Chain A
Amino acid sequence: MTTALEKYYHKINNLKSEEMILNMGPQHPSTHGVLRLELITDGEIVVEVIPHLGYLHRCFEKHCESLTYPQIIPYTDRMDYLASMNNNHAFVMGVERMLGIDKDIPRRVEYIRVLVCELNRIASHLIAIGTYGIDIGAFTPFLWCFRDREHIMNLLEWASGARMLYNYLWVGGLFYDLPVGFEERCKEFIDYFKPKMVELNELLTHNKIFIDRTANVGVLPLDVAINYGVSGPMLRGSGLKYDLRRIDEYSVYPEIEFDIPIGKGEMGSVGDCWDRYKVRVDEVEQSVKIIEQCLERLTKELKRDKEFDPRAKLPRKCTPKAQDFYVRAENPKGELGFYFIADGKREIPFRVKSRGPSFNNLSVLPEIAKGCMIADLIAILGSTDIVLGEVDR
């Protein structure tokens, strides 16, 4: 037994007389997957949280060491399975840059990529918003969010053939062009969806009970957030305008207009649960704006034509030069990174490390949950919006 393990058991076995161990999970519904939180409690107060991960570990990195680059794409789907398109996007971008073909990708392909990624971002945020409501006791928003998400699922299924795990973005192109009539139906969806967001805001965002449960709860100060490597809506909820779509200016994002919403502490203090929730709601609106601009261009100057082949630029052989490369992109949950080491001889990577946003966002939980109530812990965990498929990989 190592000394760290001994220290852990010593702590667990030598509690003060007023303290008690409480296990939350692995099958607790509010953990959004299989996560076990070991709580040391003093009455209703959480003294310490010890997260135990790994229940969903599927050896992603080990698998990568025996698969070619295009074969890994379906595995990235299964990391953050609520935002598969965004995972695909980060991964193929990295491989394309290593191959040096990132400048040759047709613009229609890039716009389709951004379009489907933003649709997926909305779907992911809808889950975050809906399940957050249900964590706190609001059942209706959950059903409404799932109803609207279903339309996105249908659209993406129409394009890729799969409901959740798409494998749609390929290295150098796409699986297929968008089906005929996709742009029109997507436009219809946007027209349908906009008033639904207004309804949702009335129902949940400005709900008195919801605000009481989330405002001033789980405040995450900005310096702590940065030090813990927190990213995405959680970091922006703490009041920093930091979005990799703007910082790195990858794909066609520089040509698209959108704002970066941040937490302002409208209902309590900056960086509380309500701020994190609100950033997601605002981001859905921004994604709608991005989708409208993409549709505009995809139906006008980048209109579909018979000659267009999304697989035209697929590399025959995916063998990058010997190098190591770190790529990062903005996932709905935060900064998704892949670190590749290529040896230049084989078509399979020497090493792939993935940096999941949920993994880092979860690591801050023991820090901000210290001294809160057990019921508030659920609110804090829900507001971090983790997906265990990515935490455990």
Chain B
Amino acid sequence: MDFTEIKRLLIEKFGEDVIVNEQTEGLQPSLTIRPELIADVCLELRDNEKTYFDFLSCLSGVDYGVEQQKMGVVYHLASIPYKKQLTLKVEKEFDRSSDSLPSFPTVSNVWRTADWHEREAYDLLGIDFEGHPDLRRILLPDDWEGHPLRKDYKTAAEYKGIKIDY
């Protein structure tokens, strides 16, 4: 099943507004999905016999820059039987001045790969995943403050009273 067929399949199943945006000009086309539906879309793409995206290659959180005021997650799916790849994206407006984190539904119950990748995205970018079974920090210590991969991150001057020299 190629890119346009997958698009048609998703629209048939979830309605016209499931696909918010699409990028087709690059080497790898991608679909931007409505954030609330991402887990259902992933489950459908995994279980549908015609697509069968059973392997999640990569899940990356992205901070689109200070001017953009939006955060997103990018999913790279692969289908082992069909030897196909697909890129899905979700994005959300995000106000940096607020304390709350941007939040997306978890896909860790679709592919267990997403479990650690989502923990990493939470740790480094401060993205919340609703329904994740164990959303703790993974690479940084539990008491670390801030999310280093954000574009507006200020490097910490000290950690537990120890001065950090750069």
Residues on A close to B: CB < 8 A? 2, 4-5, 7-8, 53-54, 57, 59, 61-62, 97-98, 226-229, 240, 242, 247, 323-326, 328, 335, 337, 339, 341, 350-351, 353, 355, 359-360, 363-364, 367, 392-393
Contacts and interface: CB of A to CB of B under 8 A. Distances in A.
A61 B140 contact: no
Given A62-B149, A353-B58, A325 B112 contact: no
Interface stretch (B24-32, B35-43, B158-166): B24-32
B62 A54 contact: no
A229 B114 CA distance: 9
Nearest to B140: A54
Select the residue from A53, A62, A229, A328 with max chain B CB neighbours within 10 A.
A229
What DSSP secondary structure best describes chain A's contact surface? mixed
A154 to B, nearest CB: 35
Select the residue from B116, B124, B148 with max chain A CB neighbours within 10 A.
B116
Given A8-B134, A227-B112, A326-B28, A57 B139 contact: yes
Nearest to B46: A227
A2 B27 contact: no
9 contacts: A4-B135, A97-B27, A227-B113, A324-B26, A339-B58, A351-B60, A353-B58, A355-B76, A367-B112
What DSSP secondary structure best describes chain B's contact surface? loop
Contacts of B70: none
A228 B56 CA distance: 8
A62 B148 contact: yes
Contacts of B140: 54, 57
Contacts of A226: 54-55, 80
B74 A324 contact: yes
Contact of B142 (A5, A57, A61, A97): A5
A227 B141 contact: no
Interface residues of B, number: 38
Given A337-B76, A351-B62, A360-B116, A229 B139 contact: no
A8 B137 CA distance: 12
B91 interface: no
Given A226-B55, A324-B30, A363 B115 contact: yes
B27 A98 contact: yes
Interface in B42-99: 54-58, 60, 62-63, 65, 74, 76, 80, 83, 85, 87
A279 B148 CA distance: 39
Contact of A59 (B26, B137, B148): B148
Nearest to B115: A363
Contacts of B58: 326, 337, 339, 353, 355
